[in-house]
């Protein structure tokens, strides 16, 4: 039972015995006491006076006395208006630290056998990953770690949009102008190589449009009139017909892209247990359409398209299958969801996809629910807002700042530069130094993205955003390195062993309170699908530790007892920082 639960249970029991009132745990408002008041935790009694039928002060007074008598952990209390400030005994806090330190699995909840499939990344194979994918991947990976810590059985999957006109555009440009070049021969990373041919396609098409006698004003329409587009379209038809040569070229193109993607995945530390390819799933979903028609949930319109009426749900009529019987985006997503249900029988199906697609996922979930599929209740769209530059949305054609690989190498470069500036790599081998640059650079980048609530847009200024001071990843990493530096000099056998001290310093108590909040952060992050809960938690923990570090000497503490206690406290803080950061997919260094 957590500390909060203990207090709430006690309060419920006291209300029963003292006021003969049945209150729920939700009615008990429990906060950490604001630092300008004396106390550790505060119960707000205003909501409880209707049960006690006494004034706020009287109610708080009675509750405080009884908690002190019964709970065994409340040392003293004070009442200010309707606020009951509880102080726990220093002995209690030290026991609490021992409990936490003694439990290797503290903050990791037992496996609950509940299956989750988490889809993230979802790139197109005709261009490299951009900053949006970066937010997506970091969120997806972190969310998976958080769910695992909550006991879920998580399977991470990726879906590649590997077919359609876009990849054909790259293929045509390559066939026309590539002269047999390869990523190997040019030294260009595979996904960039293919992306460059996509750019080339657009350049050629634009040239053609300029020469067109009466080009349509609409850009897309104009492009369709070009010979290079017609070539790409023909290629798409050949692909769909299964033409061997086209399929072979297409595979080659995609393989180059996957090589490139895999490099980035590896560098970022993200992974997938299963890949889906649209080329294999795009025909799925027809069965569901038939099922919907049979159940009369879907209907065939006069023009032959199959649709579902979602107006009762506040949405619109939505077409699910083209009039010519071919699939669209939603068709295959319906099919893929069904497929995954059959494969995994999961309880939750999480899609990490940008908020542009909020409407799409509402339709997906509703349509499946209307078919009576109970498992569709477990569909959750983890919607996140776009990453924007200070001047607005990043456009792939405006400069290279939005490219994920460029961004990563830039942040690694900065990490190297700053680390050298500070002279922090004395005694490091070259390999160790490179690992450190990576740890710090990626730490800065990942933390920058994950500390923000997913549904809020991120304003990213390439020049200024990635910082290493203050509320940042490196600050937290640095705190860890400091702790490790102390522990290297301490007796490694007894890191968690100490005898209770008479009294604690305020910041020591505060630190133990925060160590005890880890579980809450892990729970909240899963419940809200929000890694920033963990990011903000670990920042506060690191901040408190740095305060402690300045106020309280550890190795040179006044007494041996104090020293042992502070070593244990430092050790546990280091563990919680490391665990928290791991939930964010961020490594912490031993030295920096």
Tell me which residue of 201, 189, 352 sits closest to 272, measured CA to CA.
352
Using CB under 7 A, which of the segments 15-23, 269-277, 335-343, 457-465 binds RNA?
457-465
Phi, psi dihedrals of residue 532, rounded to the nearest 5°: -65, -20
Contact by Cβ (8 Å): 28, 8: yes
**Smallest distance, Å, CB 89 to RNA?**
19
Return the percent helix, strand and coil in the chain, to nearest 5: 55, 15, 30
Instruction: Find the binding residues for RNA in span 247-276 (CB under 7 A).
Output: none
Kindly state whether residue 591 participates in binding RNA, applying the rule CB under 7 A. Answer: yes
Helix (H, G, I), strand (E, B) or coil at 94: helix
Q: Please work out the total of residues on this chain that contact RNA, with binding judged by CB under 7 A.
A: 89
Kindly state whether residue 485 participates in binding RNA, applying the rule CB under 7 A. Answer: yes
Q: Give the one residue of 456, 491, 494, 506 binding RNA; rule: CB under 7 A.
A: 456
**Smallest distance, Å, CB 450 to RNA?**
10
Q: Give the one residue of 470, 499, 558, 559 binding RNA; rule: CB under 7 A.
A: 470
User: How is residue 187 annotated by DSSP?
Assistant: T
Q: Would you state the structure tokens that stand for residue 579, as one six-digit string? A: 């665990």
The beta-carbon contacts of 121-124 under 8 Å, at least 24 apart in sequence, are: 121/158, 121/159, 121/270, 121/272, 121/352, 122/158, 122/159, 122/160, 122/161, 122/353, 123/158, 123/160, 123/161, 123/261, 124/160, 124/161, 124/166, 124/167
Kindly state whether residue 54 participates in binding RNA, applying the rule CB under 7 A. Answer: no
Instruction: Find the binding residues for RNA in span 524-563 (CB under 7 A).
Output: 532-533, 536, 539, 543, 546-547, 549-550, 552-556
* Closer of 133 and 484 to RNA (Cβ): 484
Contact by Cβ (8 Å): 32, 64: no
User: How is residue 489 annotated by DSSP?
Assistant: T
Q: How many CB atoms lie within 10 A of CB 34?
A: 10
Phi, psi dihedrals of residue 464, rounded to the nearest 5°: -110, -20
* Closer of 183 and 331 to RNA (Cβ): 331
Q: CA-CA distances (angstroms) from residue 560 to 62, 149, 178, 550? A: 41, 36, 73, 19
Using CB under 7 A, which of the segments 185-193, 247-255, 303-311, 426-434 binds RNA?
303-311
Instruction: Find the binding residues for RNA in span 110-129 (CB under 7 A).
Output: 124
Instruction: Find the binding residues for RNA in span 74-113 (CB under 7 A).
Output: 80-83, 85
How far apart are alpha carbons 512 and 498 in whole angstroms?
A: 14
Q: Give the one residue of 386, 433, 505, 523 binding RNA; rule: CB under 7 A.
A: 386
Using CB under 7 A, which of the segments 107-115, 211-219, 269-277, 315-323 binds RNA?
315-323
Q: Give the one residue of 230, 455, 491, 560 binding RNA; rule: CB under 7 A.
A: 455
* Closer of 154 and 530 to RNA (Cβ): 530
Q: Give the one residue of 458, 466, 495, 568 binding RNA; rule: CB under 7 A.
A: 458
Q: Would you state the structure tokens that stand for residue 375, as one six-digit string? A: 């498992």
Kindly state whether residue 571 participates in binding RNA, applying the rule CB under 7 A. Answer: no
Which residues on adjacent β-strands are paired with residue 274? 157
Kindly state whether residue 29 participates in binding RNA, applying the rule CB under 7 A. Answer: yes
* Closer of 393 and 413 to RNA (Cβ): 393
* Closer of 103 and 461 to RNA (Cβ): 461
* Closer of 207 and 240 to RNA (Cβ): 240
Kindly state whether residue 58 participates in binding RNA, applying the rule CB under 7 A. Answer: no
Q: Give the one residue of 76, 252, 287, 359 binding RNA; rule: CB under 7 A.
A: 359
Q: How many CB atoms lie within 10 A of CB 271?
A: 12
* Closer of 373 and 451 to RNA (Cβ): 451
Instruction: Find the binding residues for RNA in span 407-436 (CB under 7 A).
Output: 415, 418-419, 422, 424
Instruction: Find the binding residues for RNA in span 499-518 (CB under 7 A).
Output: none
Kindly state whether residue 397 participates in binding RNA, applying the rule CB under 7 A. Answer: no
How far apart are alpha carbons 82 and 43 in whole angstroms?
A: 9
Q: Would you state the structure tokens that stand for residue 526, as one six-digit string? A: 């899963």
Q: Would you state the structure tokens that stand for residue 356, as one six-digit string? A: 């542009």
* Closer of 9 and 383 to RNA (Cβ): 383
* Closer of 210 and 469 to RNA (Cβ): 469
Using CB under 7 A, which of the segments 10-18, 44-52, 111-119, 254-262 binds RNA?
44-52
Q: Give the one residue of 440, 450, 534, 581 binding RNA; rule: CB under 7 A.
A: 440
Q: Where is 97: in which H helix or E strand?
A: helix 90-102
How far apart are alpha carbons 82 and 52 in whole angstroms?
A: 13
Q: Give the one residue of 1, 20, 24, 36 binding RNA; rule: CB under 7 A.
A: 36
Instruction: Find the binding residues for RNA in span 153-212 (CB under 7 A).
Output: 161, 164
Q: Where is 458: in which H helix or E strand?
A: strand 458-459
* Distance linking the first and last C-alpha atoms of the chain: 37
């Amino acid at each position: 039972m957590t500390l909060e639960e203990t207090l709430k249970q006690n309060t419920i029991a006291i209300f029963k015995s003292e006021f003969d009132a049945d209150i729920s745990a939700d009615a008990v408002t429990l906060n950490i006491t604001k630092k300008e008041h004396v106390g550790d935790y505060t119960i707000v009694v205003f909501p409880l006076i209707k049960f006690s039928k006494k004034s706020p002060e009287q109610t708080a007074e009675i509750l405080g006395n009884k908690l002190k008598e019964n709970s065994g952990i409340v040392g003293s209390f004070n009442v200010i208006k309707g606020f009951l400030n509880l102080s726990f005994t220093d002995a209690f806090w030290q026991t609490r630290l021992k409990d936490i330190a003694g439990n290797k699995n503290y903050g990791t909840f037992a496996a609950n056998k509940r299956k989750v499939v988490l889809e993230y990344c979802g790139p197109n194979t005709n261009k490299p990953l951009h900053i949006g994918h970066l937010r997506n991947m970091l969120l997806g990976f972190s969310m998976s770690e958080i769910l695992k810590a909550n006991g879920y059985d998580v399977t991470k999957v990726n879906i590649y949009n590997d077919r359609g006109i876009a990849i054909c555009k790259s293929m045509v440009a390559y066939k026309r102008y590539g002269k047999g070049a390869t990523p190997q021969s040019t030294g260009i990373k595979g996904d960039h190589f293919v992306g460059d041919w996509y750019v080339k396609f657009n350049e050629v098409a634009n040239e053609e449009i300029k020469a067109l006698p009466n080009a349509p004003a609409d850009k897309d329409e104009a492009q369709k009139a070009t010979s290079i587009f017609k070539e790409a379209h023909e290629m798409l038809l050949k692909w769909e017909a299964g033409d061997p040569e086209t399929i072979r070229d297409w595979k080659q193109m995609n393989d180059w892209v996957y090589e490139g993607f895999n490099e980035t995945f590896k560098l970022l530390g993200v992974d997938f247990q299963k890949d889906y390819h649209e080329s294999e799933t795009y025909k799925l979903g027809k069965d569901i359409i038939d099922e919907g028609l049979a159940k009369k949930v879907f209907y065939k319109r006069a023009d032959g398209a199959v649709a579902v009426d979602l107006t009762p749900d506040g949405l619109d009529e939505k077409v699910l299958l083209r009039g010519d019987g071919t699939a669209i985006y939603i068709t295959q997503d319906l099919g893929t969801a069904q497929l995954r249900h059959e494969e995994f029988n999961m309880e939750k199906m999480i899609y990490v996809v940008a908020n542009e697609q909020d409407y799409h996922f509402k339709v997906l979930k509703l349509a499946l629910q209307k078919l009576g599929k109970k498992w569709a209740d477990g569909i959750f769209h983890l919607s996140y807002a776009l990453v924007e530059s200070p001047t607005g949305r990043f456009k792939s054609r405006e400069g290279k700042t939005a490219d994920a690989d460029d961004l990563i190498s830039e942040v690694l470069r900065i990490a190297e530069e700053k680390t050298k500036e500070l002279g922090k790599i004395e005694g490091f081998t070259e390999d160790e130094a490179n690992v450190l640059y990576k740890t710090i650079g990626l730490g800065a980048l990942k933390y920058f993205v994950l500390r923000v609530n997913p549904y809020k847009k991120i304003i990213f200024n390439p020049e200024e955003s990635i910082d290493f001071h203050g509320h940042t990843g490196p600050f937290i990493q640095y705190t860890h390195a400091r702790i490790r530096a102390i522990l290297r000099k301490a007796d490694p056998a007894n890191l968690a062993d100490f005898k209770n001290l008479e009294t604690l310093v305020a910041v020591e108590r505060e630190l133990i309170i925060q160590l005890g909040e880890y579980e809450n952060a892990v729970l909240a992050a899963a419940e809200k699908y929000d890694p920033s809960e963990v990011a903000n938690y670990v920042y506060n923990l690191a901040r408190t530790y740095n305060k402690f570090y300045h106020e309280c000497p550890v190795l040179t503490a006044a007494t041996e007892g104090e020293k042992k206690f502070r070593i244990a406290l430092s050790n546990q803080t280091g563990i919680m920082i490391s665990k928290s950061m791991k939930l964010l997919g961020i490594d912490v260094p031993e030295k920096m």
